[in-house]
Chains A and B, each alone.
Chain A
Amino acid sequence: MSAARIDEATLRRSVMVASPLAVLLAWQVLSAARVFPPEVLVSPQAVLAAFGQLTASGELARHLGESLQRLLWGFSIGSGAGLLFGLAAALSPTFARLFDPLFQALRQVPVLAFIPLLILLFGIDEVFKIVIIAKAAFFPTALSTLDGVRGVPKAWFEVARIYRTPLPSLVWRVLIPATVPAVLSGVRLSLTRAWLVLVAAELIVADSGIGQMMEMGRQMFRLDVVMVGVVVCGVIGFALDRGFVLLQARLLRWRAQPAGAAA
Chain B
Amino acid sequence: MSAALRSYGAGLPARIALGLLVPLALILLWDHQARHGGEHAFAFVSAAQVAGALRELWQSGDLLTAYGNSLRNAFGGLFWGSVTGLAVGSAMALLRPVDWVLTPLYHGLRQVPLLGWLPLIGLWFGSGDLSKVIVVSLSAFYPAVLYTYEGLKGVEARMLEVGQLYRLTPWQTFWRIRWPSALPSLFTGLLQSVAFAWIATIGVELLFPTGFGLGTVMQHGQLQARLDIVVVCIAVVGLTGFAINLLVARLSRHALRWRPVRT
Is chain A's binding surface mostly helix, strand, loop or mixed? helix
Using CB atoms, name the residue of chain A closest to B240.
Answer: A108
* Residue among A19, A94, A200, A226 making CB contact with B113, cutoff 8 Å: A200
In the complex, A89 Cα to B222 Cα: how many Å? Answer: 34
**Which residue of the partner chain, among B104, B117, B241, contacts A16 with CB atoms under 8 Å?**
B104
Tell me if B199 and A110 are in contact (CB < 8 A). Answer: yes
Tell yes or no: B88 within 8 A of A by CB.
Answer: no
On chain A, the residues within 8 Å of B40 by CB distance are 121
CB-CB under 8 A from A106, the residues of chain B are 238
Tell me which residues from 212 to 232 in chain B have a Cβ below 8 Å from any Cβ of chain A.
215, 218-219, 221-222, 225, 227, 230-231
CB of B234 within 8 A of chain A?
A: yes
Of the 9-residue stretches B17-25, B154-162, B179-187, B254-262, which lies at the interface with chain A?
B17-25
Closest-CB distance, B153 to chain A (whole angstroms)? 14
A214 touches B20 (CB 8 A): no
Q: Determine the chain B residues whose CB is within 8 A of the CB of A230 once the complex forms.
A: 112, 116-117, 119-120
Contact B100 A16, beta carbon cutoff 8 Å: yes
Residues on the B chain within 8 Å of A100, using CB: 19
Bound Cα distance from A196 to B227, whole angstroms: 25
Name the contact of B100 in the complex, choosing from A19, A40, A235 (C-beta under 8 A). A19
Complex interface: chain A residues within 8 A of B28 (CB): none
Residues of B in contact, count (CB < 8 Å): 56
A131 to B119, CA, bound (A): 24
Tell me if B233 counts as interface (CB < 8 A to partner A).
yes
- Say yes or no for B147: interface residue by CB 8 A criterion: no
Chain B contacts for A127, CB-based, 8 A? none
A241's closest neighbor in chain B, by CB?
B111
Asked if B51 is an interface residue, CB under 8 A from chain A, the answer is: no
What residues of chain A lie closer than 8 Å to B219, measured between beta carbons?
116
Please tell me if the beta carbons of A20 and B116 are within 8 angstroms of each other in the complex: no
Chain A 72-112 near chain B by CB (<8 Å), digits 1 or 0: 00000000000000000000001001111110011011111
Main secondary structure of the interface of B (DSSP, over half): helix
| A33 interfacial contact with B, CB 8 Å | no
CA distance A106 to B109 in the complex (A): 30
In the assembled complex, the CB of B136 is this many whole angstroms from the nearest CB of chain A, namely 13
CB of A225, distance to nearest CB on chain B (Å): 9
Asked if B202 and A114 sit within 8 Å, CB to CB, the answer is: no
Q: What per-residue 1/0 map shows which CB atoms of A191-208 lie under 8 Å from chain B? A: 000011001100110000
Residue in B104, B109, B198 whose beta carbon sits within 8 Å of that of A110 in the complex: B198
Is A251 an interface position by the 8 A CB rule? no
CA A199 to CA B120, docked complex, whole Å: 14
Contact yes or no, B97 A113, CB < 8 A: no
Please tell me which one of the listed residues B23, B222, B245 contacts residue A101 in the complex, with CB atoms under 8 A apart.
Answer: B23
* Distance in angstroms between the alpha carbons of A159 and B104 in the assembled complex: 47
Asked if B203 lies at the interface with its beta carbon under 8 angstroms from chain A, I say: yes
Stretch at the interface among A55-63, A165-173, A216-224, A252-260: A216-224
Return B204 CB to nearest CB of chain A, in Å: 9
Q: Taking A23-B105, A98-B22, A120-B227 as given, write out 15 further A-B residue pairs in contact, using a Cβ cutoff of 8 Å, ordered by the A residue number.
A: A16-B103, A40-B123, A99-B22, A101-B20, A112-B206, A114-B234, A117-B222, A121-B40, A199-B116, A204-B207, A214-B116, A218-B119, A230-B116, A237-B113, A238-B111
Q: List 22 A-B contacts (CB under 8 A).
A: A12-B96, A16-B100, A97-B18, A98-B18, A100-B19, A102-B22, A108-B239, A109-B238, A109-B241, A110-B241, A111-B199, A113-B234, A117-B222, A120-B230, A200-B113, A200-B203, A203-B115, A203-B116, A203-B118, A204-B206, A237-B113, A241-B111
Top 7 A-B pairs, shortest CB-CB distance? A116-B222, A109-B238, A218-B119, A101-B19, A234-B112, A15-B100, A234-B111
What is B's interface to A at a CB cutoff of 8 Å? 15, 18-23, 26, 40, 43, 96-97, 100-105, 108-109, 111-120, 122-124, 198-199, 202-203, 206-207, 215, 218-219, 221-222, 225, 227, 230-231, 233-234, 237-239, 241-242, 245
